Structure 1
Amino acid sequence: MAVDKDDRQRHLPAGRKAQLVAFVADAGQVTVAELAERFKVSIDTVRRDLDRLASEGALVRTYGGAVSLATAYRVDSAVEQRLAFMEKEKETIATLAAELVQDASTIMINGGTTTLATARRLSGHRDLTIATNNLLIPGALPISAIRDIYFFGGTVRQLTLATYGPVSFRTADGADLDITCDLALIGVGAVSADAGFTTSNLAEAAMMQAMIARAARVAILADSSKFDRRLFAQVSDLSAADYLITDAPPPAPLLETLEAAGVEVITPSSAPRPR
């Protein structure tokens, strides 16, 4: 009986991996179980294949599966899609970011799913004042941790569930209030040595710039899939940040540029920081 070429290759590592990449690219996002069923191999085999392909830059590994490069780096994906992407890495970053927050401090937090994960990690804190443009954050903040919550008004962007407008508040007579914060937690879309921190939307970039300008300390939150990439709008040079909080060390050239810019890179392997 003749054996189809695709069936023969499916059981060869090189052939299977090539088909796996093509399948992930076509589907956009897949789980380990789906791939094991599709290629008739064990879950452990799929995990090994995905790990190797991720290390080769052919796809992006996620908790429980993988996504195609096109899906991973799509500049405008909806919140529900981004919540499931790099979920484990975001939780790692959130835990590290929460360690920078001091009780009784004032924090600015921008839109994004990594900052949302950080808000959920603040249950061990007290008397925090939070100012944000992220529509999801007020409901995610632990009640016991919060003294006051302020929300920046502006245009609501439904895709990201965040507002975009001035980082300011006004008195009853219309005068602008001068506001500052102790720490700005800023999630960005990309990090590179030449472009600094970037995002995909101009209005979003302007709002993030304003938050950074009003902060005594700035922590940039970015998972490792965002390294050595550049998006449409620059948020700031690398030197504007005090910290880069991420799930894995950046590539050596980027790490050297960050250190030269005075940015402390915080990863799970870094020494724990006292609050």
Structure 2
Amino acid sequence: MSGVLARQRQEVILEEVRRTGAVQVSDLVLRLGVSDMTIRRDLDALAGRGLVEKVYGGATSMVGRSTDEPGFEAKSMRQPAEKEAIARLAAGMVRPGTAIGLSAGTTTWTLARHLDDVADLTVVTNSIRVADMLQQRGRTDRTVVLTGGVRTPSDALVGPVAVRTLRSLHLDVVFLGVHGMAPRAGFTTPNLNESETNRALAEAANRLVVIADHAKWSTVGISTIVGLDEADVLISDDGLPEEARRVLGEQVAELTIAEAPGSGEAVSEQESEL
């Protein structure tokens, strides 16, 4: 009987992952009326069959193809500590009175939460989530510009409307979140329209800062946004492999490494400056 119940639970879990892109252990405990450990065993079983990817606090859908695009909730459950450390370092680069760009994504959304102390800031973004986050902070000396466009599964606004808006702007710094980074492919996305929009955002920047956790290394989306050598700064975390640091250090002008919570205070380490 317990085996049947386990299969039923796992079918419910798998259907929820397919529907929303991600599940949390705490939500499944309430929904299915079983213990935390039971849910974790179910997730282990599903992950062992290659049906979900286990992450901190839950599981997300499997992503492997160059056109696979997880939703915002699924992305937000991946590497949260690393994204937090990266965002803190990135926020330290934002100066009062400047105009910056934030692409869509969970790392840029995390960065938006760390901008409360920056005065007289203008932020241009193609992310509804980022715009909402900034508006909720209630600063009267902040201007938030949200591009129009067609909404993607990751809550980015993309397409001709967004591109036209971005091509008319000139920004001091742009912070670009990416789906993947690899030696030949560069910084990539699984969405063709988002690639064109992010390229326009990057071209509007006086300085381009890519923010990407270590899990993005060797992940390749279908379309390149910019090459590795087009980034003025890349901020990643201390989970980045040594070989990746070597390759990236030869390509990007400046590689900065953040220490994720648990391994020490978040710090900056410049690997190279060409």
Q: Structures share a fold, TM > 0.5?
A: yes
CA contact (8 A) 1:249 1:267 kept: no
Specify the alignment match of 1:180 in structure 2: 170
Contact kept, 8 Å, 1:63 with 1:88, in 2: the verdict is: no
Larger radius of gyration: 1
Q: 1:224 to 1:39 in 2, by over 3 A?
A: closer
In the alignment, the residues of structure 2 paired with residue 195 and residue 265 of structure 1 have an alpha-carbon distance, to the nearest angstrom, of 21
SS in structure 2 of the partner of residue 143 of structure 1: coil
Aligned to 1:16: none
Q: 1:220 offset after TM fit, Å?
A: 0.9
Of 217, 222, 245, 2:207 maps to: 217
The number of aligned residues is 240
Task: Report if the CA contact (8 A) 1:110-1:132 is conserved.
Answer: yes
Note the C-alpha offset of 1:82: 2.4
Structure 1 residue 167 displacement after superposition: 3.6
Contact 1:243 1:264 in 2 (8 A): yes
**Is the deviation greater in 246-255 or in 186-195?**
246-255
Aligned partner of 2:139 in structure 1 is 144
SS of match in other structure, 2:244: helix
CA distance in 2, matches of 1:200, 1:221: 17
What's 1:245 paired with? Answer: 235
Residue type at the aligned position of 1:104: G
CA shift, 1:223, in A, is 1.8
1:229 aligned partner = 219
Superposed CA deviations along residues 67-87 of structure 1, whole A, max 9, x for unmatched, are 565489982222233233333
Matches of 1:60 and 1:97 in 2, distance apart?
28
Q: 72-81 or 124-133, which moves further after superposition?
A: 72-81
Question: Which letter maps to 1:239?
Answer: D
| One-letter amino acid of the counterpart of residue 259, structure 2 | P
Tell me if structure 2 keeps the 8 A contact 1:190–1:227.
yes
In structure 1, stretches of 5+ residues that fail to align are 1-5, 7-21, 41-45, 54-58, 171-175
Percent identical pairs in the alignment equals 27
Other-structure match for 1:89: 82
8 Å contact kept, 1:130–1:146:
no
Cα distance per residue 1:218-269 (max 9 Å; x no partner): 1112122211111100111101112222233422222112111123233227
So what's the TM-score if we normalise by structure 2? Answer: 0.71
Matches within 5 A, 1:74-223: 75-141=68-134, 142-144=137-139, 146-153=141-148, 155-164=149-158, 165=160, 166-169=162-165, 177=168, 179-223=169-213
Helix, strand or coil: the match of 1:89? helix
In the alignment, structure 2 segments of 5+ residues that lack a partner are: 4-9, 18-22, 30-34, 261-265, 270-274
Tell me, in whole angstroms, the C-alpha distance in 2 between the residues paired with 1:247 and 1:258: 13
Deviates further, 245-254 or 98-107: 245-254
Gap change, CA 1:117 and 1:38, over 3 Å in 2: closer
